[in-house]
Structure 1
Amino acid sequence: MLTEYAVLDEQWAVRLPDHLDWHQAATLTCAGLTAWNAVTAAEMPKPGQWVLVIGSGGVALFALQFAKLLGCRVVAVTSRSEKLDRLRALGADLVVSTADMPEWGAAVSEKTGGIDLVVETGGPPTFAQSMIACALYGRIVLLTIQDPKGGTVQIPGAVYQRSLATINRLFVGNRTNLEAMLRAISVHRLKPVIDKVFAFDEVKNAYRYFQQGDVFGKVVVNGA
């Protein structure tokens, strides 16, 4: 909240998992909860099914961790080749570099037999490839609909005609979802991925660092 003190209604607070520090806990209520609901809301993927995540931001990495927690197999797509090994270390079963393979959807579909759940954080630039990668009756959870470069979604007609994928729009979650996520995090001792921590008086630098986009996990501002 970028403040030294805050007054909260008691219903706005939940007990944190004992194994997390405050920096890790700060990542949970937005990125963590969004990813949790993307993976578990509606029809939860079954163990062994394929989940696809895009990028290495907070939501994508949480989605990867939660999918592995549920016993799923994960494809991670990144534009940065230097992040391939870090995504594998988090548990990704298949990692794709868009720098090496811009049209990655067909290759992912062939290797996996079709993705069961796509956590679509890439927006218009990646949506068509997500559709191509998706299984016939797969699901796409759409988290980003805007392209900072002004691009629009272009879906090949053949893909559109043969796809029966379900597309859902998602907005974070509620207290019940948050408590369920925290129970899972506690049981599995899951730890959020933090890219960098900034001091309280470095908040402008923190925002600049975050907005440049080349992060791996969450950017945190330390308490005053």
Structure 2
Amino acid sequence: MTPADEARPADRPGLRERKKRETRVALSQAAIRLCVLHGWANVTMDQIAAEANVSVRTFRNYFAGKAEAIAASHLERMHRVAGDLLTRPPGEPLWDSLRHAVLGQFAPQGNSAPQDERWREGVRLMLAEPALAGEIVKANAAAQQELAEAVARRTGSDAEREVYPKLVAAVVAAGSAVAVEHSLRAEEAVPLGAALTQVFEQLAAGLPVP
């Protein structure tokens, strides 16, 4: 057996996990895209699977339905936020690091322009779907837990025994949700990046009274 052969068993789980994660993301993004463009009631699991170039059986291996698939995108994005937070420069203030991490995932460079009105309306209608609410709550809870653990590592605190990491994660989640809502519902289209920047500037300043 060659050294390369010996290495393969250890490498496979990592590759397998990456492939599974890529499939989850592809299915989730396909579900969002189709539901926004065509309406919640007009999209089936078969269509989502076809859009992602996988079988319906594969879809069912990952998700119980459309709502869970859509909510998975939020959890995946916050997973990347937590990872990005841990790569920020050690001496950078926490709220600056959080702002960079959130902006990098919610409004990456080159994608800061407001969406057209058709897309905004489609997202608003999708997010108002009652079937999605419970899955979003579950995804957000898992996302906050992961972010709290990253904040704890970043600040040298304990996510299980101390309030601070959990509080920061909850504030980040709430602030991000407010920015998304403002971007979607403002009378004049507001780029999500601009809304997020405003939110994190106010949080870093301690939410001073206007």
TM-score normalised by length of structure 1: 0.27
User: Which is greater in Rg?
Assistant: 2
Higher helix share: 2
Higher strand share: 1
